[in-house]
């Protein structure tokens, strides 16, 4: 789904983070997510600039893993 409907995945991620899906671009979403989980060392804008369609899919996968159990 992420490859065919980029905006859908972006909206799902924003909804999971209790944000408005219409006003949250990928860079802001990634930064908010990283700071919320103290992932400051791994949060930069390079992935967003290189492959903007990959970032929401990566965030959604991480959110799902955190829902299922602790991420090691």
Is-above-0.75 flag for pTM? no
**Within-domain flag for 18:** yes
In a domain, 49, yes or no: yes
User: Residue 70 burial by CB count (10 A; 0-12/13-18/19+): exposed, middle or buried?
Assistant: exposed
User: Could you tell me if residue 10 is inside a domain?
Assistant: yes
Query: For residue 30, what are the domain limits?
Result: 6-68
Number of domains in the chain: 1
Number of residues that this document lists for the chain: 72
In a domain, 27, yes or no: yes
Its sign, for the CA torsion 20, 22, 26, 27, is: negative
At 14-67, the pLDDT tens digits run 888 887 777 556 677 777 788 887 776 666 667 777 777 787 888 888 888 888
């Amino acid at each position: 789904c992420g490859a065919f409907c980029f905006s859908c995945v972006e909206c799902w991620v924003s909804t999971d983070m209790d944000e408005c899906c219409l006003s949250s671009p990928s860079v802001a979403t990634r930064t908010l997510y990283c700071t919320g989980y103290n992932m400051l060392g791994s949060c930069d804008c390079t992935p967003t600039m290189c492959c903007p369609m990959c970032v929401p899919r990566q965030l959604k996968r991480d959110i799902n893993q955190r829902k299922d159990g602790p991420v090691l």
